[in-house]
């Protein structure tokens, strides 16, 4: 990703920088002052006090209006494992959100961001949902997880791809569409939309809006069961927006965008790993408008997801076998690479520990990630 150089920009992205920009214009301050301020924060300033290029009375006015800083996230806790780093950020309002950085051996990294503090959709396999929704994250809070200074020291530079697979249902937060605009605008995030993946459990109206606004963004729809009754037990949203409705949207999307689209399948021992499940899942893909553009991403259930304690992780060999049998039926399928088993890298766990509402045995997580 090209590091954003707001210095070059005529207009700031929506969010607090836009407010600062407007505020300075209201004071009739020369435009280079805004650039000095942005550059100082890019270079490591933590508060307005650190922006020494600005006259002290202007710094004081900014503090009176915005508080000590424009930085929306502060690092509260970090857990590091092999190829993965999980960071718990605290927002200015005190909400806690998690971000996971995965480092690939090829020398680049990817960041998995949260879109909500908590989640209101109550999927039965995910303890983030069990904690309920605290609030949607702002555009600033979403984008800051991607361009945070913490990642700038990475050997391969800033993250090359972004997955909206952390805490929360991305499509339940309208700020996500604006965040995508910011992240893909040259000079701000500067990311190719093809390097961004948005995962959803199936909020059909918002999925339609996303496919229209950002047709090149990669989409992942959580399936987890091909049977409506069972899927509704795993993902209650099925009752409002059935899988078939979401798949119909993706059928139209792949015809228009010609982009490969992913169907996530969380494999849970004894729950959705039977021959009947496999056959129905294969038929579901074969019925698609362009089956070759649908790829099944099989995810091994992990106790770190913190769901119903009766849920069990299948043996790794069972996951490989499930994938192989899908392949034999002509279905494009792979096992999703999961980093961080050594640190329970499912999103939401650090937050749950920080809130003290879940014990180590029952951490929160979003198995879409
Ligand atoms: S799986 Fe995603 S949508 Fe479902 S409760 Fe967890 S965070 Fe929310």
Catalytic residue chosen out of the listed positions 112, 123, 126, 347? 347
pLDDT category of residue 120 using cuts at 50, 70 and 90: very high
Q: What atom in ligand 1 is closest to the CA of residue 172?
A: 3
Q: What atom in ligand 1 is closest to the CA of residue 200?
A: 3
Q: Is the dihedral of CA 178, 184, 185, 190 positive or negative?
A: positive
Q: Residue 189: pLDDT above 90?
A: no
pLDDT of residue 15: 72
Q: For every residue of the chain, which 3-state class applies, written as one string?
A: CCCCCHHHCCCCCCCHHHHHHHHHHHCCCCHHHHHHHHHHHHCCCCCHHHCCCCCHHHHHHHHHHHCCCCCCEEEEEEEEECCEEEEEEEECCCCEEEEEEEECCCCCEEEECCCEEECCCCCCCCHHHHCCEEEECCHHHHHHHHCCHHHHHCCCCCCCEEEECCCCCHHHCCHHHHHHHHHHCCCCCCCCHHHEEEEECCCHHHHHHHHHHCCCCEEEEECCCCCHHHHHHHCHHHHCCCHHHHHHHHHHHHHHHCCCEEEEEEECCCCCCCHHHHHHHHHHHHCCCCHHHEEEEEEECCHHHCCCCCCCCCCHHHHHHHHHHHHHCCCCEEECCCCCHHHCCCCCHHHHHHHCCCCCCCCCCCCCC
Q: How far is the CA of 170 from the centre of ligand 1 (A)?
A: 9
What is the mean predicted confidence (pLDDT) over 356-362? 42
pLDDT of residue 343: 53
pLDDT digits (tens, 9 = 90+) for 47-103: 899 999 999 999 999 999 998 888 889 899 999 888 889 999 999 889 999 999 998
Q: How far is the CA of 346 from the centre of ligand 1 (A)?
A: 12
Choose the residue to mutate in 117, 137, 351, 366 for probing ligand 1, maximizing ligand atoms within 8 Å of C-beta: 366
Q: Residue 366: pLDDT above 80?
A: no
pLDDT of residue 99: 94
pLDDT of residue 252: 97
Q: Residue 321: pLDDT above 50?
A: yes
Q: Is the pTM of this model over 0.75?
A: yes
What is the mean predicted confidence (pLDDT) over 116-126? 92
Q: Residue 9: pLDDT above 50?
A: no
Choose the residue to mutate in 135, 168, 233, 236 for probing ligand 1, maximizing ligand atoms within 8 Å of C-beta: 168
* Average model confidence (pLDDT) across the chain: 86
What is the mean predicted confidence (pLDDT) over 134-158? 84
pLDDT digits (tens, 9 = 90+) for 229-264: 999 999 999 999 999 999 999 999 999 999 999 999
In the chain, what percentage of residues exceed pLDDT 70?
Answer: 85
CA distance 197 to 218: 5
pLDDT of residue 150: 81
Is position 292 annotated as part of the catalytic site?
A: no
pLDDT category of residue 358 using cuts at 50, 70 and 90: very low
pLDDT of residue 292: 97
Is position 347 annotated as part of the catalytic site?
A: yes
């Amino acid at each position: 990703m090209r590091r954003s150089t707001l210095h070059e920009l005529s207009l700031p992205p929506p969010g607090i920088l836009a407010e600062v920009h407007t505020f300075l214009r209201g004071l009739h301050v020369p435009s280079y002052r805004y650039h000095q301020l942005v550059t100082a924060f890019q270079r490591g300033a933590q508060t307005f006090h650190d922006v020494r290029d600005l006259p002290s009375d202007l710094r004081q006015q900014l503090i009176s209006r915005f508080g000590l800083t424009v930085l929306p996230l502060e690092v509260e806790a970090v857990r590091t494992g092999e190829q993965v780093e999980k960071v718990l950020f605290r927002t200015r309002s005190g909400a806690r959100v998690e971000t996971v950085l995965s480092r690939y051996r090829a020398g680049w990294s990817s960041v998995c961001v949260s879109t909500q503090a908590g989640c209101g959709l109550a999927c039965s396999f995910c303890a983030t949902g069990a904690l309920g929704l605290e609030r949607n994250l702002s555009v600033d809070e979403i984008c800051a997880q991607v361009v945070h200074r913490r990642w700038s020291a990475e050997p391969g530079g800033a993250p090359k791809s972004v997955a909206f697979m952390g805490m929360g249902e991305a499509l339940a937060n309208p700020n996500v569409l604006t965040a995508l605009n910011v992240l893909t605008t040259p000079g701000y995030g500067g990311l190719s939309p093809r390097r961004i993946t948005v995962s959803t459990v199936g909020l059909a109206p918002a999925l339609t809006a996303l496919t229209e606004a950002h047709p090149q963004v990669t989409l992942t729809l959580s399936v987890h069961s091909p049977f409506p009754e069972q899927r509704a037990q795993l993902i209650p949203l099925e009752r409002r927006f059935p899988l078939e409705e979401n798949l119909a949207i993706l059928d139209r999307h792949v015809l228009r965008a010609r982009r490969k689209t992913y169907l996530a399948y969380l494999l849970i021992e004894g729950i959705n790993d039977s021959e009947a499940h496999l056959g129905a899942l294969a038929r579901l893909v074969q019925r698609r408008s362009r089956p070759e553009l649908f790829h099944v991403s099989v995810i091994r259930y992990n106790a770190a997801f913190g769901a119903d304690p009766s849920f069990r992780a299948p043996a790794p060999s069972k996951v490989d076998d499930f994938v192989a049998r899908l392949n034999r039926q002509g279905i494009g399928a792979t096992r999703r690479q999961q980093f961080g088993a050594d640190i329970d890298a499912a999103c939401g766990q650090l937050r749950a520990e920080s809130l003290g509402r879940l014990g180590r045995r029952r951490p929160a997580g979003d198995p879409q990630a």
